[in-house]
Amino acid sequence: MRTQVVIVGAGPSGLLLGQLLSVHGIANVILEQRSPEYVLDRIRAGVIEKWAADLLDDAGAGARMHREGLVHQGIEISFDGRRHRVDFDALVGKSVIVYGQAEITRDLMEARAAVGAETYYEIADVSLQLDQPGRSSVRYGRHGRVQEIQCDFIAGCDGFHGISRKSIPEHVLNCYERVYPFGWLGILVDQPPVSPELIYVNHERGFALCSMRSPTRSRLYLQCRLDDHIEDWPDARFYEELSRRLDPHAVGALHRGASIEKSIAPLRSFVAEPMRYGNLFLAGDAAHIVPPTGAKGLNLAASDVYYLWQALLEYYRERSAAGLEAYSSQALRRVWKAERFSWWMTSILHCFPESSGFDQKMQRAELEYLLSSRAAMTALAENYVGLPY
Ligand code: FAD
Ligand code: PHB
């Protein structure tokens, strides 16, 4: 079997790249180790930059997002029990769309099915053959048999735990990492949001976030300990703790419905450089991770996909490898800026168990400055809505 591009992973990066390539006539096959139901059940990102939304439109998969997504022109930051609005529209003239990652994934899966492109789900033991320049192939197990696809290029879109990054020799990669000493405990609940916009909470008991998926579905998060287990957090305890961290007005608006999903996510910053090895190109979480505080993970996956898609188009249309040569450095420039923003948002909003009195004073000063300075709020808004591609 032969195709032009093999894509490993059918998360948002793999599906978006596949769709952009398919609608521009570049043949591709996606290999995914899980079932479609499993991929759709993962509750993750919720905030989409305009840039990423435009790319979904380019892929012909944006119609439902425009119908059902919620356009948000600001966020609120709760500090010392008071809420402060960051007005994106007034500060930078832009907005974001609140629309769940699972919905984007569903829209991309349907768009892919409509163009008849192949995705093989529940495949096993993917291995990449990268040694011979210009002759790549991918082996995998399907229906109990080992199969092989020859291709021009491989896109490693298989997330942080995938095999693509691990297939690059260690001496070639430089990895940069920070692991944070806490996690996020999240619940999904079929109750209206606490407030029309997202509330990011700095509180002495720890960070909290009130987000949403729709006017009738809330997504709520609490900073938790790394050794916490979801069994330790029945809904009643979750709501009690959230109420302690929210301002009284928000507590009054909190609907304590039964959770329909509950999970704990550790927080990490990670970048692997370069994002290319021969004919293998990494995109999305396979190459980098951000803590979710800046809502950047999915959006960074989209910008990687944009650069890679453009480079592949240039290669097939003009027989020029210039875009492919530039891919890693171009993508990494945007990655590092989003890493910085996510790390900074995390550092100003969370309680760090090891922080000294001085560190705590610095965090206070940072927040007081941010919330009193139009210049500082503009910098936050500019990064939150997403830097241009
Ligand atoms: P993934 O979604 O991880 O997809 C990779 C795919 O590859 C998976 O389907 C996996 O099954 C498959 N795979 C793995 N290994 C193999 C293999 N060996 N063979 C074949 N397939 C394989 N981002 C935002 O932008 N905004 C937010 O608001 C936001 N909130 C978040 C909240 C939480 C709690 C979390 C955990 C993340 C959040 N993110 C957010 C981050 C976002 O979800 C990720 O950045 C995004 O999923 C990355 O997409 P991806 O396709 O690169 O990787
Ligand atoms: C979410 O809705 O899941 C969400 C929103 C904003 C974030 C992180 C997660 O910063």
Q: What does the pLDDT average to over 96-120?
A: 96
d(CA 288, CA 267): 12
Q: How far is the CA of 357 from the centre of ligand 1 (A)?
A: 36
Spell out a b/e string for 98-128, using b for 16 or more CB atoms within 10 Å of the CB, else e: bbbbbbbbbbbbebbeeeebebbbebeebeb
Q: What is the mean pLDDT of residues 105-130?
A: 96
Q: Cα separation of 120 and 194, whole Å? A: 40
* Residue range 360-383: mean pLDDT, rounded: 98
pLDDT for res 43? 82
Q: How far apart are CA 198 and CA 46, in angstroms?
A: 11
Q: What's the pLDDT score for residue 9? A: 98
* pLDDT of the residue at 93: 98
The three-state DSSP-derived secondary structure of 15-45 is: HHHHHHHHHCCCCEEEECCCCHHHHHHCCCC
Residue-wise pLDDT tens digits, 176-196: 999 999 999 999 999 999 999
Ligand 1 pocket check for 109: Cβ under 6 Å: no
Q: Mapping DSSP to helix (H, G, I), strand (E, B) and coil, where does residue 203 land?
A: coil
Q: What is the mean pLDDT of residues 47-60?
A: 96
Q: What pLDDT, on the 0 to 100 scale, is given for residue 30?
A: 98
Q: Is 291 in the pocket of ligand 1 (CB under 6 A)?
A: no
Distance 186 CA to ligand 2 centre (A): 10
| Residue 17 in this model has a pLDDT that exceeds 80 | yes
Per residue in 267-310, pLDDT (tens digit) is 999 999 999 999 999 999 999 999 999 999 999 999 999 999 99
Three-class secondary structure of residue 192 per DSSP: coil
Does 381 have pLDDT greater than 80? yes
- Taking residues 32-37, report their average pLDDT: 96
343-361 pLDDT tens trace? 999 999 999 999 999 999 9
| pLDDT value for 52 | 97
Mean pLDDT over 39-52 rounds to 92
Mean per-residue pLDDT, 43-47: 88
Mean residue pLDDT across the chain: 97
Residue 45 above 90 pLDDT? no
Q: Percent of the chain at pLDDT above 90?
A: 97
Say whether pLDDT at 65 is over 90.
yes
131-144 residue pLDDT tens: 777 779 999 999 99
CA 12 – ligand 1 centroid, Å: 7
**Closest atom, ligand 2, to C-alpha of 219:** 2
Q: Which residues contact 50 (CB under 8 A, 6 or more apart)?
A: 94, 95, 96, 97, 385, 386
Q: Is 293 in the pocket of ligand 2 (CB under 6 A)?
A: yes
Please state the rounded mean pLDDT for residues 203-225: 97
Which residue from 91, 88, 54 is spatially nearest to 385, judged by alpha carbons? 88
Q: Which residues are catalytic?
A: 72, 200, 292, 296, 384
**Dihedral Cα 211, 217, 223, 224, nearest 10 deg:** -170
Average pLDDT on 58-68 reads: 97
pLDDT at 44: 85
Count of CB atoms within 10 A of residue 135's CB?
Answer: 12
Whole-model pTM: value is 0.97
